[in-house]
Amino acid sequence: MRLLLLSPIFLALASCSPLKSSPREEKHQLELTLRGMQTNLDDQRHDLNCFQTELQILDGRIKYYENALATLKQQELESQQAKLEKIQQQIQSLETKLANFVSLQESEAKDLRQLLNHANETTAALTQFKEWIVELEQGLHQQSKRFDEIAKWRGHPDPNYKQSEAKIHKVRPGDSLEKIARLYKTSVENIKKENNLDQDLIVVGQQLRIP
């Protein structure tokens, strides 16, 4: 680079006239040449210093941008890491809730099966109880008939008495004149007339003559 910068000077020296000159002129000419070379050298040094300063400024900017980029990358990495951890925590929470929900569903299904079994057992027991009540009512009805026959026999010891003419019915819980009339295939009016009743009211234990 210096050779390129100094080449005009050498060309100037080479182009000088080969005519002989005095020593003073040669010295003066040499001083001028040296001054020109020194000035040129100073200019080159100034330019070099400017270039170095600009390079330092550019290097500082590059380092600043590199640091800023590294900081942004670190911040972005930390942000993404925090988001990832939050998402993992949410997934774990959802998995825990799902496990609890499945466990609750299984428990409820088990309780439901037990309840259904209990309901079936209760239904079967109620059915048996109803059958037992029906049998008991039938037995009580038979006993009532027997008691009625005994009462009739006691009230009419005459062997010539006809049982078909009249019967005695002892009023039981749930009985009504209409129900009794249907049972013996007669009418309410006939029962009231036979027992001298003015109204349909009857009481448990009351004995009614059935025509």
DSSP string, 99-120: HHHHHHHHHHHHHHHHHHHHHH
- Out of 49-53, 91-95, 151-155, pick the least confident: 151-155
At how many degrees (to 10) do helices 2-14 and 23-155 cross?
A: 160
Instruction: Give mean pLDDT, residues 72-91.
Output: 92
Question: Which distant-in-sequence residues (6+ apart) come within 8 Å of 193 by Cβ?
Answer: 211
CATH domain 163-211 topology: Membrane-bound Lytic Murein Transglycosylase D; Chain A (3.10.350)
Q: What is the pLDDT of residue 13?
A: 45
- pLDDT for position 27: 87
- Residue 4 pLDDT greater than 90, yes or no: no
Nearest residue to 169 via CA among 151, 192, 154:
151
CA distance 88 to 94: 10
Mean pLDDT of the chain: 81
**CA pair distance 25, 20, nearest whole angstrom:** 10
- Residue 76 — very low, low, confident or very high, per pLDDT cuts 50/70/90? very high
- The tens digit of pLDDT for each residue in 34-63 reads 998 999 999 999 999 998 999 999 999 999
* More confident site: 165 or 70: 70
- Of 128 and 49, the structure prediction assigns the larger pLDDT to 49
- In percent, the amount of the chain with pLDDT more than 70 equals 80
- Binned at pLDDT 50, 70 and 90, residue 167 comes out as confident
Helices (H), the chain: 2-14, 23-155, 177-183, 188-195
Residue 77 has pLDDT above 50, yes or no: yes
Domain boundaries, the chain: 65-156, 163-211
Distance CA 154, CA 39 (A): 167
Tens digit of pLDDT for each residue in 178-203? 999 999 999 999 999 999 988 888 99
Q: Is the pTM of this model over 0.85?
A: no
